[in-house]
Amino acid sequence: MNGVNASCDNKSDSWLTWTNAATAALTVVGGATAIVAAPLVVSAVGFGSAGVVAGSLAASLQGPAVAAGSWFAIGQSVGAAGFGIAGNAVLLGTGSATGYVTSKVASNILGE
C-alpha cells in the first residue's frame, strides 16, 4: 500500500474511539444541562415571573434601589422573561466547554 492509504487502513488511527465518544457525549450533556439547570437555579434563588419571591434569598439580598445593569436587575429580568436566544447561546457554549474540559481532564487522569 502507498503511504497515503496506509494510515486509513490502520484501525488504531480511527478518530472514533471511546475517548472521543465520551468527549462528544460530555460536551453535549454539559450544554444541555446548562440550558435546563440555569432557569431552575434562577427560580430557586427567588427570581420569578411575577418578580422577586417573598421570603427568598433574592428578597433578602434586595436593596432599597436596584441599579440598572446590576446582577440583581439581570436576575429579575431573567426570572421574568427567561434567558432569550443570546442567553441560551451563552449557556450552551459555557456548558459545552465545561463538558469538553471535564472529559479531557478525566482522560488525562485515566491516562487515555
Per the structure, the complete domain to which residue 86 belongs is given by: 26-110
The pLDDT score that the predictor gives to residue 112 is 65
Cα radius of gyration (the chain): 22
The pLDDT score that the predictor gives to residue 101 is 92
H-assigned helices in the chain:
3-9, 18-45, 57-61, 71-81, 84-110
Q: Specify if 60 maps to a domain.
A: yes
3-state secondary structure of 53: coil
pLDDT averaged per 10 residues in sequence order, the chain, 112 residues:
48 71 90 94 94 94 89 92 93 94 87 70
Q: Specify if 16 maps to a domain.
A: no
The pTM score is 0.70
Q: Specify if 6 maps to a domain.
A: no
Domain count, the chain: 1
Query: 23 near 100, Cβ under 8 Å?
Result: yes
* Pairwise CA distance, residues 60 & 47, whole Å: 12
